[in-house]
Amino acid sequence: MHRVEFRALPFLLTAFTAGVLLAQNPDLTGTWTGEATLSGSTDKDRVTLILQKSGESYNGTISTLSGLAKEAPLESVKYDASNLRFQFTANRNGREVKIKVALNLIVGRLIGAWWADDISFSPLDLAPKK
């Protein structure tokens, strides 16, 4: 009986290791591009998100074609279980506004929303730039 248990041990260790590796967060490093729908309209804004791995999290910048953000540094970045959260400071009509972003990695895309206390931008859909 001990011999059977010993033979099963390598299999169990391999299965455990594979499970741990699969549970790790995918690397999001790179340039992500896509569109956001502006609140209260059908207008779209082109968004570019650049992510760089920094320890267990990320740093980077976000830019929009409309000029809301021009290489704005990401702040308070959190990445866990394929969920990316951060905020950035935007320029809206000459005043600074904190924009919060919540994205989920879904089938190779970052999909979610961004918003501020007085305005809402939703949805946000980004794909890795090829």
CATH 2.40.128.120 fits 30-128, yes or no: yes
pLDDT given at position 32: 98
Each domain of the chain, given as residue ranges in start order, spans: 30-128
The pLDDT tens digits for 9-49 are 343 333 333 333 445 679 999 999 999 877 666 788 899 99
pLDDT given at position 4: 43
pLDDT given at position 42: 74
Strands 95-106 and 83-92: antiparallel
Contact 74, 55 (CB under 8 A): no
Residue 83 has pLDDT above 50, yes or no: yes
Mean pLDDT estimate for the chain: 81
Kindly give the residue spans of alpha helices, DSSP state H, lying in 2-117.
2-23
Q: How far apart, in whole angstroms, are the C-alpha atoms of residue 61 and residue 48? A: 8
- Six token digits for residue 42: 């059908």
For 54, phi and psi rounded to 5 degrees? -140, 90
